[in-house]
Structure 1
Amino acid sequence: MTTNSDARPLILGASGRLGRALARSWPAGTPAPLRQTRDGAGGTLAWDILNAPAPALPPIDSVFVLAGVTHGTPEALALNTELARVGADLGARLGVPVLLASSQAVYGPQPGLLREDAPLRPASDYGRAKAAMEAAVTGPHVTHLRIGNVAGCDALAAAIARGGVVLDRFVDGQGPRRAWCTPGDLARVLLALRSAPVRPQVVNVARPGLVAMADVLAVAGVAFDWTPAPPGALPRMALDVTLLQGICPLPLADAQAVAEALA
């Protein structure tokens, strides 16, 4: 890893929803990242990742790959591997750690507290694409981040933006409960992993515990309706974050923090 005191992180994929949220939540007093977008808007680094070599860069101490495809055909989703490979190759050339945004979707709808060594059983094309990315892009400098729901950047936030939020109700009368973190949490995790003396190959990223979506909506003052949960819907998606807590301790998950990040 470079020891240049002026070096800073490079974020690939800064124009996406998560990249924009990170920019708004980046911790004060830490090195401001160099943010990459395809067109260079807003003073970002202009780089069409899949179609051009990396431009000249200032001193970089880590590469965070948020660039990815979340919807589309399996062929389109396969670009997640190509984007990750570009980031990993760049990090190898620079001699710096690379943190790749994966997803809890690689686990699929499994019950229980899911640790990093749990079997991968993705049920969606997106989950399968991220699992394929993890398998294809590896190296001692690479860490895959299996990120839980990021407040303000997930499906619940999208549903709120559309209006008419509907939650699944399960046989126990409750709605979905999920592992969450805020964009500020994720920024702190990236910074901590960047400077950690030892980085895992894979790490779950979320606050400890679960938060009910209904509680988040209640705190946020958002009205919603219920619908019977369809077969296969998962009432709880719980991530074991013991490994992460040893690297970057995060506070317990709570509906208030999630709701504030929605604002």
Structure 2
Amino acid sequence: MPQDLPVLLVVGATGKLGRFLRAAWGAHPPAAFRPLWQSRRPVAGAGWVAWDPLSGNPMPRADAVLMLAGVTAGPPAALALNTALAEAACAAAARVGAGRVFLASSLAVYGATDAGPATEAAPPAPLRPYGQAKCTMESAAAAWRAEAGPGAPAVTVLRIGNVVGADALAPALASRRRVTLDRFPGGGGPVRSYIGPGSLAGVLARLTARAVAGAALPEVLNLAAPGGVAMADLAGAAGLPVVWQPAPAGAIENAVMDVTRLMALAPLPPGASHPAAMLAELHALTAEPAA
């Protein structure tokens, strides 16, 4: 990969999403930028850098930053690290002159979307501590950008939907065991915004290409394939048996985002949200190489 390309620093490259990006971009290197993979500890191999965002040490030089590192569960103090990490990434990016920071948020900030797919303008209404922590992170990032003034990096919050292979169904997909799903009073099961890991990598590559070219991007962007996906359909396409249980109080039936804004910037092909297509993407990125 040419060394004179703009650099995207991927913070949290050892996590699930980071591993998907490494596989996808390793097989098909982006033409517009060069990824630099971050870990808190040294990793052998080219293209890696050891850096702890919370250490106060200087960030490696980068033209854009993708902040994937975060905490998904735990007590309030642990979840609060999402905000600390985002603020640290923004401040460090400003010091090295990066033009844009992408912050990974979540579909969880919308809570239930029984009234229809949530647009970016919909007020967040998280129902779980993780979604609440991501809302707090988003607000802190917006406040940081407003106070940083001219010359600071632009910030785009990516509200990412369920990623096949990195969501609640992932353990069952990996172990080939049965799936337990909630059955709601109307007879249906949970429906979510999903995206395949290969599609995720493609979208992030196109958004980064726009960022390093200096193009405008929204401050908030829903990131998923169009439409909602029944989790039972995804399990069925994977050949996993489904065991149904009555939905407990507070269970979320629909959590679906409107992705009109994303499709105008980085359109996905028809069928990108089809369960079989998304599972094929997962297999392509996780299959063991031939001997």
After TM superposition, the score normalised by the length of structure 1 is 0.91
Given candidates 166, 182, 187, the residue that maps to 1:153 is 166
Amino acid at match of 2:72: T
Say yes or no: does 1:260 pair with 2:271: no
Given candidates 230, 244, 254, the residue that maps to 1:226 is 244
Given candidates 128, 133, 151, the residue that maps to 2:132 is 128
The CA deviation string for residues 51-94 of structure 1, in whole angstroms up to 9 with x for no partner, is 2412544xx22100001011111111111011111221222231
Quote the residue 1:11 is aligned against: 10
Report the CA distance between 1:37 and its aligned residue. Answer: 0.5
Amino acid at match of 2:98: G
Quote the residue 2:37 is aligned against: 35
8 A Cα contact 1:109 1:232, kept in partner: no
Report the CA distance between 1:195 and its aligned residue. Answer: 3.2
Quote the residue 2:106 is aligned against: 103
Amino acid at match of 1:149: N
Report the CA distance between 1:177 and its aligned residue. Answer: 1.5
Q: Structure 2, unaligned stretches of length 5 or more?
A: 146-152, 284-291
Q: Structure 1, unaligned stretches of length 5 or more?
A: none
The CA deviation string for residues 206-252 of structure 1, in whole angstroms up to 9 with x for no partner, is 01111111111111111221111122222221101011011101134
Quote the residue 1:188 is aligned against: 202
Quote the residue 1:67 is aligned against: 69
Amino acid at match of 1:105: A
Q: Which of 159-168 and 175-184 deviates more?
A: 159-168
From the superposition, tell whether residues 150 and 189 of structure 1 become closer, same or farther in structure 2 (CA, over 3 Å). same
What is the 5 A alignment of 1:75-90?
75-90=77-92
Cα distance in 1, alignment partners of residues 174 and 139 from structure 2:
34
What is the 5 A alignment of 1:208-227?
208-227=226-245
Quote the residue 2:23 is aligned against: 24
User: Aligned pair count?
Assistant: 258
- Identity value in percent: 46
Cα distance in 2, alignment partners of residues 217 and 55 from structure 1:
41
Quote the residue 2:286 is aligned against: none
Quote the residue 2:180 is aligned against: 166
Quote the residue 1:175 is aligned against: 189
The CA deviation string for residues 128-151 of structure 1, in whole angstroms up to 9 with x for no partner, is 110000000132600000000011
Large movers: runs of 4+ above 4 Å: none
After TM superposition, the score normalised by the length of structure 2 is 0.83
Cα distance in 2, alignment partners of residues 223 and 56 from structure 1:
47
Amino acid at match of 1:186: L
Cα distance in 2, alignment partners of residues 104 and 183 from structure 1:
16
Quote the residue 2:258 is aligned against: 240
8 A Cα contact 1:49 1:86, kept in partner: yes
